[in-house]
Structure 1
Amino acid sequence: MTRLSVNINKIATLRNARGGNVPNLLKVAADIQDFGAHGITIHPRPDERHIRYQDARDLKAVVHTEFNIEGNPVGSFVDLVNEVVPEQVTLVPDAEDVLTSNAGWDTQKHKDFLSEIIAEFKAKGMRTSIFVDPVPAMIEGAALVGTDRIELYTEAYASGYAAGNKETVRPYAACAQLAHELGLGVNAGHDLSLDNIAYFAQQVPNLDEVSIGHALISESLYLGLENVVNMYINKLK
């Protein structure tokens, strides 16, 4: 089945709002794994507005499933990842001032840069993934830089699905199949929710993992964190 990695950035946002340690990020990460999630994802940004770099260090001892650190491979991020050595590192080309990730890599334009960074991470035993739009040329480019996986940027699917247009899943299905044929694993994330995850997982072949944060934490306010984690797992079966 497709594995569920829970992004806990929003837990850190809530904690930082009061300046203390409530909610306790490490306790929440441990609980999410106990509830059945297959991994924990964090996306530290240079301004540390939610996840702090020290959180990544502290979580290393807590995450016993899969630890996925995602972000733009600027110098400080590369240093952090090389220090923590998570199971997976996901490269995302987000600018420092964006609210959230809003585009995938141009894997052809940035081929040399991505190849160098990926080789560095893989040399330390980390699985690598590249955040990409569902465009065949970008998938083909990803295959040339040595990455292990791609992560499909799913905002367009989520927006289309919410508007009643399920056809927006087609490019994702085609790109997932292409990635599989090129020897790449397939992850997905961004705006996936309890409403749209089941259809996406049914339609997109060879889907290894989804990373879900904002929707899952928001849904948990109403339904409870343990319940929501298991609702996602059931929809992914």
Structure 2
Amino acid sequence: MNEIDKLKKASPPRRRWIVGLTGASGAIYGIRLIKELLRQQYEVHLIVSEAGWRVLKEELGWETVRRADALGQAFPGSLDAGALVYHPNGDIGASIASGSFRVEGMLIMPCSMGTLSAIAHGASSNLMARAADVMLKEGRKLLLVPRETPLHAIHLENMLKLARLGVRMVPAMPAFYFKPQSMDEMIDFLVGKVLDNVDIEHDLYRRWGDEHNGQPAPDHHR
């Protein structure tokens, strides 16, 4: 074994998260989440549903014909460095479709009611649902950010079913107690709540009580 191989073997494995973007409104939430995970040097495995690509185009103006180029522009250097790994939603044989591929967990942000329903019923017909199913069977973290309103009984029943299995539900609900001054601050708040729920440290928003402890508001919006 040469010295490079020894160093690779000795170094700890990269911490990996799967991030899913679906066709629910709020694509900016998922993009902001990915940027923060990459900033913290996590390896991100990304899945975008077909409807998710449509929302990226409609809400953020992404050109979705050349998807790799669009991702390269949004996350410069991350694809080439291997920090961001993109998996087509139809690739059911991808690494993240197997429980033997170790990841910290999976975050679907935003999560459509269709994807939520597929996960709740174990319908693994695409990589998004299969990867989520793997999190459940392997006992790993799975967090969904539902984005729909109003909600009917089927939506609520599916959420309750998954919550009883230990899936974290963080609905896309903004807060106003910290007096947000911009859209960025409202987005950062929700991303921060997601990270809180999977035990990832961050300083994306001012917590309740911080203003009494001399803590400044975060000032690093990207």
Q: TM-score with structure 2 length normalisation?
A: 0.34
Between structure 1 and structure 2, the one with the greater Rg is 2
